[in-house]
Amino acid sequence: MAKFLALVTITVAVVSSCHVSATEPAGADRNALLSFKSSVQGNSLSHWGSHRTWKGVKCDSRGRVISLELSGFKLTGVISPAIGNLSALEILDLSANQFSGVISPVIGNLPALKILELSANQFSGVISPAIGNLSALKILDLSANQFSGVISPAIGNLSALGLLDLSYNQLSGSIPPELGKLSRLGYLSLHNNLLTGVIPETLGLLKSVTYISLYYNNLTGDIPDICNCHSMTTIILYENKLTGEIPFSTRCQLPHLDTLDLSDNRFVGVIPSSISNFTNLTMVHLDDNKISGAIPRAIGSPPLLETLSLSNNMLEGPIPSEIFQLQTLSELDLSYNQINGGIPETLSNLTELNQLILRNNRINGEIPKSIGAAQQLFFIDISYNCLQGAIPETLSNLTYLQHLVLKDNQLSGPIAWS
Q: With respect to ligand NAG, which residue has the nearer C-beta, 59 or 182? A: 59
Residues linked to residue 337 through DSSP beta bridges, in sequence order: none
Which residue, 184 or 369, has its beta carbon nearer to ligand NAG?
A: 369
238 binds ligand NAG (CB under 6 A): no
Per CB under 6 A, the segment of 2-10, 139-147, 354-362, 391-399 that binds ligand NAG is: 391-399
Q: Which of 32, 88, 271, 353 binds ligand NAG (CB under 6 A)?
A: 32
Q: Is 243 in the site for ligand NAG (CB under 6 A)?
A: no
| DSSP result, 239-266 | SSEE-SB----TT---TT--EEE--SS-
- Does 67 interact with ligand NAG (rule: CB under 6 A)? no
> Of the two residues 49 and 372, which places its CB atom closer to ligand NAG in the complex?
372
**Would you say 133 and 112 are in contact if contact means Cβ atoms under 8 Å apart?**
no
Q: Which is nearer to ligand NAG, 161 or 214 (CB)?
A: 214
Distance CA 418, CA 377 (A): 15
Residue type, 297: R
Pairing of strands 403-405, 331-333: unpaired
Nearer to ligand NAG, 96 or 291 (CB): 291
Verify binding: residue 112, ligand NAG, rule CB under 6 A: no
- Looking at the Cβ atoms of 160 and 298, the one nearer to ligand NAG is 298
Residue 147 as a binder of ligand NAG (CB under 6 A): the answer is: no
Judged by CB under 6 A, does residue 28 bind ligand NAG? yes
By CB under 6 A, which span of 110-118, 155-163, 259-267, 388-396 interacts with ligand NAG?
Answer: 388-396
Using rule CB under 6 A, residue 217 touches ligand NAG = yes
Q: How far is the CB of 368 from ligand NAG (least distance, A)?
A: 13
Smallest gap from Cβ 295 to ligand NAG, in A, equals 14
Looking at residue 177, its amino acid is P
User: Does residue number 322 form part of the binding site for ligand NAG (CB under 6 A)?
Assistant: no
Measured from the CB atom, the residue of 139 and 232 that comes closer to ligand NAG is 232
Burial of 332 (0-12, 13-18, 19+ CB in 10 A): buried
Among 150, 397, 404, 408, binds ligand NAG (CB under 6 A): 397
Residues 6 or more apart whose CB falls under 8 angstroms from that of 325 comprise 300, 346, 349
- The DSSP-derived string for 99-127 is EEEPPPGGGGG-TT--EEE--SSEEEEPP
Contact 231, 256 (CB under 8 A): yes
Sign of the CA dihedral 49, 50, 53, 56? negative
The verdict on 216 binding ligand NAG (CB under 6 A) reads: yes
Nearer to ligand NAG, 97 or 370 (CB): 370
Residue 210 binds ligand NAG (CB under 6 A): no
Number of shown-chain residues binding ligand NAG (CB under 6 A): 22
Using CA atoms, how far apart are residues 386 and 408, in angstroms rounded to an integer? 8
CA 292 to chain centroid:
26
87 is a site residue for ligand NAG (CB under 6 A): no
Task: Write the DSSP assignment of 198-221 as a string of letters.
Answer: BPPGGGGG-TT--EEE--SS--EE
Q: Does residue 85 bind ligand NAG (CB under 6 A)?
A: yes
> With the CA atoms of 7, 12, 18 and 23 taken in that order, what torsion angle do they form, in degrees rounded to the nearest 10?
90
Cα distances (angstroms) measured from residue 133 to each of 58, 67, 119, 154, 156: 23, 19, 20, 8, 10
Asked whether position 298 contacts ligand NAG by CB under 6 A, the answer is yes
Mapped onto helix, strand or coil, the DSSP state of residue 414 is coil
Judged by CB under 6 A, the residue of 218, 243, 340, 388 near ligand NAG is: 218
Amino acid at 282: T
**277 part of the interface to ligand NAG, by CB under 6 A:** yes
Based on CB atoms, which residue is closest to ligand NAG, 51 or 251? 251
3-class secondary structure per residue, 150-162 = ECCHHHHHCCCCC
CB 303 → ligand NAG: shortest distance, Å?
Answer: 15
Terminal C-alpha separation, the chain? 41
Name the pairing type of β-strands 163-165 and 139-141: parallel
Q: Which stretch binds ligand NAG (CB under 6 A): 48-56, 109-117, 258-266, 389-397?
A: 389-397
Give the interface segment with ligand NAG, choosing from 211-219, 331-339, 358-366, 399-407 (CB under 6 A). 211-219
342 binds ligand NAG (CB under 6 A): no
Which residues of this protein are in contact with ligand NAG, per CB under 6 A? 28, 31-32, 35, 82, 85, 194, 216-218, 250-251, 273-274, 276-277, 298, 372, 393-394, 396-397
